[in-house]
């Protein structure tokens, strides 16, 4: 299968292999990276407004559009959903300034559309002149590769049926009239600004994804433009049907796991399945435990009085993988479950979702799996198992999609996959330098947009760190990993962790807080978060401090060890040198925690679930670095690692210096590191100075 290009690269193809390696003696802190949130919004409405990603459920994604007929400028009559593939309904106007700017953009998109897409331009402005509309229609259709229609929707009925909100808005539906994308063309134009070229090509990206049977990474955005006058007509609960509304909702939020071959305990992809489990579905939806999503509301004006850390204002971030139900979706599902649950007309059903050979990333270019089954005992506790798999790669490869599939998901709690380069003799000892891939409940896929990828070098081996949880029946497991290759990207994606290995949770503590942080030595771009704790984990929070201002980036007030999730940002966040990233976590070691193995014990760091971890992973890239560049020596990666070593060591020194005298005595050093660290006592004073400790970073 040919490679899928991540992005055309202008850089030479030969680079030194990239590797992050911090001194293992820095046991108190780990790598971290991140990126910069935009400045806090002013109280008043901003002058400049651009396309901002939104939660898909709030923007109608996954919902059906009404059946409607319309007539184009040529007099031909069409019906919504009569196309064989996808239909793009793009609002436009010959009198709205922003719509006029987007005519060349629509023409360019029409010239490159796959044959499975059809473009319908919808002009809802009654007073627009017919001559001007014909001129725009001809301009856009002139070089189009597929069917283009222009509709003067003078009464707004088509716009209302489709859900178009502004004169730059776009809705993409499939042949079953399900909304698959709703938002802006791109962000080149908005209120109060214009760019020479867009930074984000939302519609193009959505078309590329849907054309390859993938969901758009960003499926919904605002679309700044002239408002379209529509009147919403709420659906009565008695009118809700399984085929028209509920099947789409369950398909979008549940079927990923609850299907034949999925990790869910039962399927929900048929009417009979859903009604058979209606009581359980109703309960978990009302309690907010399903679909699994635990990030607090990120709207700028939201606060959380009940969070363990107290009141705070979350940053206005948007998540690309938000699993939560929008309030309207939740109300729809509960109303149908509480009612007579009508089946409806099968003709209204959505297109079925398919999972080729069980892979959510599509057909992999390469699959690696265990050479021998791993034995999992019936009961008790199993230590982590490390299974090394040879890749057989003869050249460096770039990967744009990764999926980990346990052979026996009922006993696999989580999997961490590390890349072992040919020179690596040992498996990774800790998680400070991040992971290459991960499987945890609710997270098994890493998929990156165009221009981003992870590297796997020639001759590499994959180390699978397996956490098995016996469930009463002895079994075996053969876990596998599938990847989709691509050409060299513009940016190399990496993972690192904010770590506190010196955590100490007192017996009976119900709300114990632990902290870890690091100061960034250079500019980095943050792609997402992945917090990790064990059974006593209660809540956690990532924060950014710049100067005297602290901003919450991610708040998880209800952490659940059973559903460890990644939180991927819809837009990368830029952080600059000197920014401080902080990871705070709260633990419940009391007898009120039903999952607590033993509330009488002091709990410290350890890999088993009856121990604890305080580990805040981050996914990031360095904007100034060349993909594949070495992680040591010269260049951005080398400077980044050296800077992290220095800031890591400074924080570690300050934490160990109990009497704050600027010296570390042997008594202040951890037992396991005392002998090694005291070798740095070059002046034989019996203590370590900051200068002597700094030698660790070299």
Is the pLDDT at 486 greater than 90? The verdict is yes
Q: How confident is the model at residue 502 (pLDDT cuts 50, 70, 90)?
A: confident
- Token code pair at residue 649: 């060591």
Kindly state the DSSP code that residue 245 receives in the 8-state scheme: I
Residues pairing with 388 in the sheet: 463
- For residue 435, pLDDT over 70 is answered with yes
Residue scoring higher pLDDT (690 or 414) = 414
Is-contact 399 453, C-beta < 8 A? yes
pLDDT tens-digit readout, 168-223: 999 999 999 999 999 999 999 998 899 999 989 999 999 999 998 888 989 999 99
Q: What is the pLDDT of residue 520?
A: 86
Which helix or strand (DSSP H or E) is residue 643 part of? helix 635-656
Indicate the average pLDDT of the chain.
83
The class (CATH top level) of 358-488 is: mainly beta
Considering the chain, what percentage of its residues have pLDDT values greater than 90? Answer: 55
- DSSP per residue over 561-617, as a string? GGG---EEEEEEEEE-TT-EEEEEEEE--STT-TT-S-TTS-EEB-SSTTSB--EEE
Domain spans, the chain: 56-211, 238-355, 358-488, 494-623, 657-697
Q: Which residues of 423-434 are buried (b: 16+ CB within 10 A; e: fewer)?
A: eeeeebebbbbb
The token duo for 508 is: 């009976």
pLDDT the model gives residue 23: 31
Asked if 168 and 141 count as a contact pair (C-beta separation under 8 A), the reply is no
Tokens 């330098």 — which residue? 433
Query: Would you state the pLDDT for residue 647?
Result: 54
Cβ-based neighbours of 576, under 8 Å, separated by 6 or more: 36, 520, 523, 546
> How many residues make up the chain in this entry?
698
Statement: residue 273 has pLDDT above 90: yes
Measure the CA–CA gap between 219 and 63, rounded to whole angstroms.
13
Higher local confidence (pLDDT), 22 or 570: 570
Q: How does DSSP assign 333-382, residue by residue?
A: HHHHHHTT-----GGGPPPPP--GGG-TT-S-SEEEE-SSPEEE-SSS--
Residue range 350-365: average pLDDT? 83
The DSSP result for 111-169, as a single string, is: TT--TTEEEEEEE--TT--HHHHHHHHHHHHTT-SS-EEEEE-TTSHHHHHHT--BTT-
Instruction: Provide DSSP, 186-206.
Output: -SSEEBTEE-SS-S--HHHHH
CA-CA-CA-CA torsion sign (499, 500, 506, 512): negative
Beta carbons within 10 angstroms of residue 381's beta carbon: 12
Mean pLDDT on 250-271: 86
Chain centroid offset of residue 499 CA: 21
CATH class of 56-211: alpha beta
3-state SS assignment for residue 174: coil
Fold: same for 56-211 and 358-488 = no
What average pLDDT does range 255-281 have in this prediction?
Answer: 87
Strand 580-587 vs strand 688-689: parallel, antiparallel, or unpaired?
unpaired
User: What is the pTM for the complete model shown?
Assistant: 0.77
Q: Tell me, what's the pLDDT at 493? A: 92
Is pLDDT larger for residue 384 or for residue 372? 372
**466 and 412 Cβ atoms separated by less than 8 Å:** yes
58 contact partners, CB below 8 Å, separation of at least 6: 220, 326, 328
Cα–Cα distance measured from residue 584 to residue 498, given in angstroms and rounded to the nearest whole number: 10
How far from chain centre, in Å, is Cα 230? 33
User: CA 558, 532, 439 angle in degrees (round to 5)?
Assistant: 110
Angstrom distance (rounded) from CA 426 to CA 429:
8
**Overall average pLDDT of the 277-288 stretch:** 91
* Residues in Cβ contact with 513 at an 8 Å cutoff, skipping those fewer than 6 apart: 308, 309, 584, 585, 586, 587
Given a contact cutoff of 8 angstroms between Cβ atoms, the answer to whether 414 and 467 are in contact is yes
Rounded Cα distance between 683 and 156, Å, is 83
Tell me how far apart the alpha carbons of residues 571 and 485 are, in angstroms, rounded to a whole number.
23
Question: Would you call 36 helix, strand, or coil by DSSP?
Answer: coil
Q: What is the mean pLDDT of residues 222-241?
A: 82
- Distance of alpha carbon 491 from alpha carbon 238, whole angstroms: 51
Tokens (6 digits) for 275: 């009604």
For the purposes of burial, counting CB atoms within 10 Å of the CB of 206, is it exposed (0-12), middle (13-18) or buried (19 or more)? buried
Q: What is the per-residue burial (b if ≥16 Cβ within 10 Å, else e) of 40-79?
A: eeeeeeeeeebbbbbbbbebbbbbbbeebebebbeeeebe
Residue 20 has pLDDT above 70, yes or no: no
Give pLDDT, residue 425.
Answer: 56
Q: Residue 44 contacts by C-beta under 8 Å, 6 or more apart in sequence?
A: none
558-614 pLDDT per residue, tens: 998 877 788 999 888 999 988 999 999 999 999 999 999 999 999 998 878 889 999
89 sits in which H/E element:
strand 86-91
494-623, what's its fold? Answer: Jelly Rolls (2.60.120)
pLDDT at 248 (0 to 100): 95
Angle at 588 between CA 587 and CA 594, to 5 degrees: 140
14 contact partners, CB below 8 Å, separation of at least 6: none
Place of tokens 């005595």: 665
Closest by CA to 215, choosing from 244, 252, 257, 243, is 252
Per-residue pLDDT reduced to its tens digit, 33-63: 333 333 344 445 566 788 989 999 999 999 9
Tokens of 637: 């990666």
Predicted local confidence at residue 550, as pLDDT:
92
Predicted confidence band of residue 649 (pLDDT cuts 50, 70, 90): low
What does DSSP assign to residue 429? -
611-637, pLDDT tens digit by residue? Answer: 999 999 999 998 887 776 654 444 555
């Amino acid at each position: 299968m040919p490679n899928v290009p991540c992005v055309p690269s202008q850089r030479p193809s030969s680079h030194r292999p990239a590797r992050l390696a911090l001194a293992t003696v820095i046991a108190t802190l780990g790598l971290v990276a991140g990126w910069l949130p935009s400045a806090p919004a002013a109280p008043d409405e901003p002058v400049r407004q651009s396309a901002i990603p939104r939660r898909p459920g709030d923007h109608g994604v996954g919902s059906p559009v009404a059946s409607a007929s319309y007539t184009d400028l040529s007099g031909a009559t069409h019906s919504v959903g009569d196309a064989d593939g996808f239909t793009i309904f793009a609002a436009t106007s010959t009198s709205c300034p922003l719509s006029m700017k987007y005519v060349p953009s629509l023409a360019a998109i029409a010239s490159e559309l796959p044959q499975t897409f059809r473009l319908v331009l919808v002009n809802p402005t009654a007073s627009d002149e017919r001559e001007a509309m014909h001129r725009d229609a001809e301009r856009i259709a002139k070089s189009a590769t597929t069917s283009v229609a222009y509709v003067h929707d003078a009464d707004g009925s088509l716009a209302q049926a489709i859900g178009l909100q502004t004169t730059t808005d776009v809705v993409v539906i499939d042949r079953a009239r399900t909304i698959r994308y709703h938002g802006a063309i791109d962000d080149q134009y908005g209120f109060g600004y214009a760019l020479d070229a867009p930074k984000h090509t939302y519609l193009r990206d959505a078309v590329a994804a849907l054309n390859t049977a993938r969901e758009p990474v960003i499926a919904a955005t605002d679309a700044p433009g002239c408002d379209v006058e529509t009147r919403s007509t709420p659906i009565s609960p008695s009118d809700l049907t399984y085929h028209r509304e509920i099947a789409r909702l369950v398909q979008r939020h549940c079927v990923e796991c609850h299907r034949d071959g999925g990790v869910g305990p039962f399927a929900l992809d048929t009417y009979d399945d859903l009604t058979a489990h209606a009581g359980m579905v109703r309960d978990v939806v009302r309690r907010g435990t399903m679909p699994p999503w635990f990030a607090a509301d990120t709207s700028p004006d939201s606060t959380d009085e009940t969070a363990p850390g107290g009141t705070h204002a979350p940053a206005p971030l948007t998540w690309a993988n938000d699993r939560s139900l929008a309030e309207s979706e939740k109300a729809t599902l509960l109303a149908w479950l509480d009612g007579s649950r009508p089946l409806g007309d099968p003709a209204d059903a959505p297109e079925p979702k398919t999972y080729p050979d069980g892979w959510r990333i599509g057909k992999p270019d390469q699959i690696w799996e265990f050479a021998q089954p791993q034995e999992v005992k019936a009961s008790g506790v199993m230590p982590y198992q490390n299974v090394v798999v040879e890749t057989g790669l003869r050249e460096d490869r770039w990967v744009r999609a990764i999926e980990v599939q346990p052979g026996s998901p009922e006993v696999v709690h989580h999997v961490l996959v590390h890349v072992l380069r040919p020179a690596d003799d040992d498996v990774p000892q800790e998680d400070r330098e991040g992971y290459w891939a991960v499987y945890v409940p609710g997270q098994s896929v890493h998929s990156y947009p165009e221009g981003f990828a992870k590297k796997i070098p020639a001759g590499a081996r994959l180390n699978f760190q397996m956490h098995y949880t016996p469930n009463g029946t002895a079994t075996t497991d053969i876990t596998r990993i599938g990847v989709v290759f691509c050409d060299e990207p513009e940016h190399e994606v990496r993972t690192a962790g904010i770590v506190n290995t010196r955590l100490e949770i007192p017996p009976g503590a119900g709300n114990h807080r632990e902290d870890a942080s690091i100061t960034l030595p250079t500019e980095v771009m943050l792609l997402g978060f992945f917090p990790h704790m064990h059974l006593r984990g209660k809540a956690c929070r990532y924060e950014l401090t710049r100067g005297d201002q602290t901003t919450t980036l991610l708040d998880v007030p209800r952490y659940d060890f059973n559903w460890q999730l990644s939180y991927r940002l819809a837009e990368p966040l830029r952080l600059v040198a000197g920014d401080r990233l902080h990871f705070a976590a709260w633990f419940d070691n009391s007898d009120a925690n039903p999952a607590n193995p033993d509330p009488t014990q002091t709990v410290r760091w350890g890999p088993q679930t009856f121990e604890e971890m305080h580990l805040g992973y981050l996914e990031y890239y360095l904007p100034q670095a060349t993909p594949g560049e070495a992680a040591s020596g010269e260049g951005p990666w080398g400077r980044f690692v050296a800077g992290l070593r220095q800031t890591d060591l400074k924080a570690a020194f300050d934490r160990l210096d109990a009497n704050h005298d600027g010296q570390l005595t042997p008594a202040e050093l951890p037992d396991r590191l005392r002998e090694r660290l005291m070798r740095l006592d070059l002046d034989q004073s019996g203590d370590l100075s900051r200068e002597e400790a700094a030698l660790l970073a070299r």
